[in-house]
Amino acid sequence: MNTQVNHEKFLAGRKKGIGGSDVAAILGFSPYKSPYQLWLDKTGRSERKESQNESAHFGNLLEDVVAKEFSRRSGMKVQRVTQQLSLENIGEPWAIGNIDRAVVNPEIAGRVFFKDGKLTTDQGLECKTASEYLSKLFGEEGTDQIPDYYLTQCLWYMKLTGFQVWHLAVLIGGNKFRMYRIERDDDLIESIFKQVKAFWFNHVIADVPPDPTCFDDVLHRWSKHVVGKQVEATFEQIKLNEELIAVQGRQKADKAREDEIKLTLVSSMQDAEMMISQGMTICTYKEQSSTRIDSTLLKKEEPDLFAKYSKTSSTRVFRISNKFKETV
């Protein structure tokens, strides 16, 4: 019960600022969350209930195991830091973070504590668990070759603490333990901080959503079209539609480029149902309904009554008009 309460308090506290795990999403490095989805979270608009999945749950449970193994293998003493860190002392209270461990540097102090607003060490530790299929994202042990979404988190904590080194220990697949070392890079840290600060003030504080970076963003923001609404295509948008036709017509499809073009076009259309040029429809982005069996309900009721126990769902579908294709 206490664990659940503490976790909920932790999640609520994150909405008051930008933490280490948020940085990768802002920079576009997170495989789990887009800048727009993070904006929804920070502004209290997210419809998703933030709860721990099994991966995060066991990651938290094994944090202490990873920290102890790092200490055993490295010979360095580690210490918990329970207080949330921030840059309030330099007028940036929104810049926050909860570090996993501080690493004791005996040349500075025999233990870690706050002195004059700073921790009495110059090194930190981030503890991670990762599935086996992510092992290829990690480079040679002892280097800083770790996934960008972990690297940016460590660099963010360096900004908060002023530390010179951040260690990352990771348990991969439950049986491979690796240790990495990130040296302080002030230019990179300041570049990251500048971008994160811009996101906080230009989007969260200003209450302005960032541009969509994936189709889920577009569908959430403009889930339905306005019947009859049109947008006039720019020269660049016409060229993008032409390129899309060419890409789709290639024998060897370029799915990444196809998705990139579609995302650009549907983002510009917003809630319009069609893009036109000189009266001709170039492309459409309309709702399409489909009927599927609601298996859960059918299991509870009579399975042969399909008509009664079916449900219709709708989503917007992007299409280039045949008439425009004929002109290309």
Domain holding 82: CATH number?
3.90.320.10
* Shared-domain flag, residues 186 and 250: no
Please check whether residue 210 lies inside any domain of the structure: no
The pLDDT of residue 1: 40
Tokens of 311: 């449900």
Note whether 67 and 135 are same-domain residues.
yes
Q: What is the DSSP string of 26-39?
A: HHT--SS--HHHHH
Domain assignment present for residue 304? The answer is: yes
User: Does residue 14 fall inside a structural domain?
Assistant: yes
Angle between helices 20-27 and 186-199 (to 10 degrees): 80
- The verdict on 193 and 79 lying in the same domain is yes
Averages of pLDDT over runs of 10 residues in the chain (328 residues) are 49 76 97 95 83 73 95 98 94 97 97 94 97 95 97 98 98 96 98 98 97 92 90 96 93 89 95 95 87 66 66 77 80
Q: Is residue 268 part of a domain?
A: yes
Per-residue model confidence (pLDDT) at position 294: 64
Q: Is residue 314 a part of any domain in this protein?
A: yes
Q: Does residue 81 sit within a domain?
A: yes
Based on the domain organization, do 126 and 249 belong to the same domain?
Answer: no
Q: Are the C-beta atoms of residues 20 and 157 closer than 8 Å to each other?
A: yes
Does residue 264 lie within any of the structural domains? yes
145 and 252 co-located in one domain: no
Domain that holds residue 126: 2-205
* Residues 312, 291 contacting (CB under 8 angstroms): yes
* Three-state secondary structure call for residue 125: strand
183 and 165 Cβ atoms separated by less than 8 Å: yes
pTM for this predicted structure: 0.80
For residue 35, CA distances in Å to 106, 130, 165 come to 40, 23, 28
- Is 186 in the same domain as 295? no
Shared-domain flag, residues 188 and 223? no
DSSP code of residue 201: I
Tell which of 147, 174, 205 closes a domain.
205
Same domain, 111 and 143: yes
* pLDDT computed for residue 100 by the predictor: 97
- Of 160, 60, 64, 68, which is closest to residue 114 (Cα–Cα)? 160
121, amino acid identity: T
Show which of 156, 181, 205 is a domain's final residue.
205
Contact 66, 170 (CB under 8 A): yes
Q: Quick one: 65 and 176 in the same domain?
A: yes
Name 168's bridge partners: 126, 180
Q: Which residues contact 37 (CB under 8 A, 6 or more apart)?
A: 25, 46, 216, 217
* Same structural domain, 77 and 189: yes
313 found inside a domain: yes
Amino acid 281: pLDDT: 96
Of 156, 178, 205, which one is at a domain's C-terminal end?
205
Q: Could you tell me if 167 and 180 are in contact, meaning their C-beta atoms sit under 8 angstroms apart?
A: yes
* Helix/strand/coil for 256: helix
Which residue is listed with tokens 């230009």? 202
Number of separate domains in the chain: 2
Burial (CB count <10 Å: 0-12, 13-18, 19+), residue 148 = middle
238 plus 112 within the same structural domain: no
In terms of DSSP H, where are the helices of the chain?
A: 2-14, 20-27, 35-42, 54-61, 63-74, 148-161, 186-199, 215-221, 235-249, 255-269, 295-300, 322-327
| SS3 letters across 153-186 | HHHHHHHHHCCCEEEEEEEECCCEEEEEEEECCH
Q: Decide if 42 contacts 204 (C-beta within 8 A).
A: yes
Q: Specify whether 247 is located in the same domain as 112.
A: no
**Residue 93 host element (H or E):** strand 92-97
Q: Which of 49, 117, 52 is nearest to 86 (CA)?
A: 117
